[in-house]
Amino acid sequence: MRKPIKVLIQGTGFAGQGHAEAFRYAGAEVVGIVGRTESVVKEVAAQLAIPYAGTHWEEALQTLKPDIVSIATPGGAHEIPIIQAIQHGCHVFSDKPLSTTGESAQRLYELAEQKQVKTAFAASFRYMPDVIHAKRLIEAGEIGEPQEVECISHFNLEKHIPYGWSHRKEDGGGRLNNNFTHKLSIVTSMIGEHLLSMMGEVRDDLGKAPIVEGVHNFKKRRDFIPQDINDPDLTWGESNVEWSYTVLAQIQSELAKKPVSVLFKHGGLHPRFNDDHIVVYGSKGAIYIKGHYASGPLYLYRDGNWEAQPLPQDIIERIPEGESDTERNWRYLIRLLVEDVQGNGVQPYQTFKEGAQYQKLIDLIRQNDNWVDVSQL
């Protein structure tokens, strides 16, 4: 009988707890969890029935000897723990962003290649059922040659959510790290992975946010918004990351003779009027996927009409259980990683190669140097 894959989790918040449940869903054994605060990590370990709870990462690696580690902390805390895990021969599942700079992310990718460990990079909304369906329709020629893709989203985030890692570039914050990575992964999964060129701009529309103690779970941060924003006793932290972005890209596709043009437009603080959407325009038709991160439904345009498309039964049967899209997508990708580590044949999935590539792209976009001065024309 095959021994279960042993997994060690780093991070005790929403992601850490979600990763733990996802690995269990894939049949792995979660042997330990590590966090910064002893009382918090012990509480989470007890809630999830994880036998080992600690605050020292390398000590946990040495004691538990896991097969896989799962990195569920903000991006600014990734590099050293990932290096230590790879040096111990562990395979690595990392949430996005892989690191805070392209240079750092590239080092992690090269080390993993050198040590021949498997890695998975969780820009995982490409596993949304309607994205998988869209990919199938495009490959079947239902819209002809893909020509353009349009990704429009507005997060409508409250400006006064408590100050934290998402406000700081050095901690892996910003909407490029935490939104664009998913959108790019969705588009390349449907069109092709070969990026040719890219340009973009970013804006920090926020400025500052209130500093509030006791926020440990990213999903519950809205519950900590101060009731009186004008309270003179509040202290404030300054944001140094983008909350909105516009990116243009060209992607080479095996399904088209010419490069496919892509628009990514995101307003992190802007209210929605219509639904977020992703549209793929082709030479014979189009696909429209409604909703945040392509949550659906999917519509196909042909013969002059938009028609809703039901999900094929085989795609439905592959959807993991889970309370949210985020958790189901983690489970989809983690299932692939676990099966790969076990030696089973699996479909290709994103690794630290894409994690490093995405971080280098984000570095370039953040330079904001794509404008041409036309004021004198």
Rounding to the nearest 10 degrees, give the CA dihedral for residues 172, 349, 31, 3: -170
The tokens for 254 are 């095996």
108 with 154, same domain: the answer is no
Q: Is residue 377 part of a domain?
A: no
Q: Residue 221: pLDDT above 90? A: no
Q: Which of 59-68, 155-164, 215-224 has the highest mean pLDDT?
A: 59-68
- Does any domain span residue 69? yes
Flag the least confident range among 51-60, 148-157, 212-221, 272-281: 212-221
Q: Return the pLDDT at 269.
A: 86
Specify whether 176 is located in the same domain as 80.
no
Residues 69 and 137 in one domain: no
In sequence order, the β-bridge partners of residue 119 are: 92
Token code pair at residue 173: 């914050």
Per-residue pLDDT for 14 more than 80?
A: yes
Residues 23 and 134 in one domain: no
The pLDDT-based confidence of 199 (bands split at 50, 70, 90) is: very high
Are 109 and 356 in contact by the 8 Å Cβ rule? The answer is yes
Domain annotation covers residue 67 = yes
- Classify residue 362 as exposed, middle or buried by CB count within 10 Å of its CB (0-12, 13-18, 19+): buried
Q: Are residues 132 and 115 in the same domain?
A: no
If you average pLDDT over residues 179-186, what whole number do you get? 97
Average pLDDT along the chain: 95
Q: Are residues 217 and 304 in the same domain?
A: yes
CA 373 vs CA 197, 256, 369: distances in Å? 21, 33, 11
Domain boundary among 269, 301, 318: 318
Which residues have C-beta within 8 Å of that of residue 189, sequence separation ≥ 6?
Answer: 126, 131, 135
| Domain containing residue 159: CATH number | 3.30.360.10
* Pair type for strands 208-210 and 52-54: unpaired
- Identify whether residues 82 and 167 lie together within a single domain: no
Its domain, for residue 114, covers 6-123+327-352
Tokens of 118: 């498997």
Alpha-carbon span 200 to 262, nearest angstrom: 11
Burial 318-328 (b: 16+ CB within 10 A, else e): ebbebeebbbb
Whether the link from the prior residue into 271 is cis, omega within 30° of 0, is no
Quick count: other Cβ atoms within 10 Å of Cβ 136? Answer: 14
Q: What is the CATH number of the domain that holds 112?
A: 3.40.50.720
Structural domain contains residue 251: yes
- β-strands 260-267, 146-154 pairing: parallel
pLDDT for the residue numbered 233:
92
What SS3 state is found at 308?
Answer: strand
Please check whether residues 281 and 336 belong to one and the same domain.
no
The answer as to whether 93 is a domain residue is yes
How large is the average pLDDT for residues 171-184?
Answer: 96
The structure tokens listed for 119 are 């890695």
Asked if 161 contacts 225 with a C-beta cutoff of 8 angstroms, the reply is: yes
3-class state of residue 309 by DSSP:
strand
At 84 the pLDDT is: 98
Query: What sign has the CA pseudo-torsion 198, 289, 19, 191?
Result: negative
Q: What is the mean pLDDT of residues 281-289?
A: 98
Structural tokens at position 224: 């900590």
Nearest C-alpha neighbor of 57 from the set 29, 80, 74: 80
Q: State the pLDDT at residue 1.
A: 60
- Residue 338 DSSP SS3: helix
Dihedral pair phi/psi, residue 301, rounded to 5°: -100, 120
Report the domain count for the chain: 2
Average pLDDT (140-161) is 94
- Residues 292-346 pLDDT 10s: 899 999 999 999 999 999 999 999 999 999 999 999 999 999 999 999 999 999 9
Q: How far apart are CA 377 and CA 374, in angstroms?
A: 5
Q: To which H or E segment does residue 93 belong?
A: strand 91-95
The residue among 316, 332, 274, 4 whose CA lies nearest residue 150 is 274
Share of the chain above pLDDT 70, in %: 99
Task: Indicate the range of 117-131, 269-283, 337-351 predicted with least confidence.
Answer: 269-283
Q: Which of 275, 300, 318 is the last residue of a domain?
A: 318
| 99 and 190 fall within a common domain | no
Residue 223 domain-assigned?
A: yes
Residue 219 domain-assigned (yes or no)? yes
Residues 203 and 346 grouped into a single domain = no
Of residues 176, 158, 179, 193, the one with CA closest to residue 293: 179
Q: Give percent above pLDDT 90 in the chain.
A: 89
Q: Which of 157-171, 240-254, 286-300 shows the lowest per-residue confidence on average (mean pLDDT)?
A: 157-171
Residue 203: pLDDT over 70: yes
Same domain, 159 and 294: yes
Same domain, 138 and 282: yes
Residue 227 makes CB contacts below 8 A (sequence gap 6+) with none
| pLDDT average, residue stretch 203-232 | 86
Q: DSSP letter at 178? A: I
Least-confidence region, from 29-33, 119-123, 225-229, 369-373:
369-373
pLDDT at residue 265 tops 70: yes
Give pLDDT, residue 247: 97
**What's the pLDDT score for residue 156?**
83
Whether residue 364 is contained in a domain is answered as no
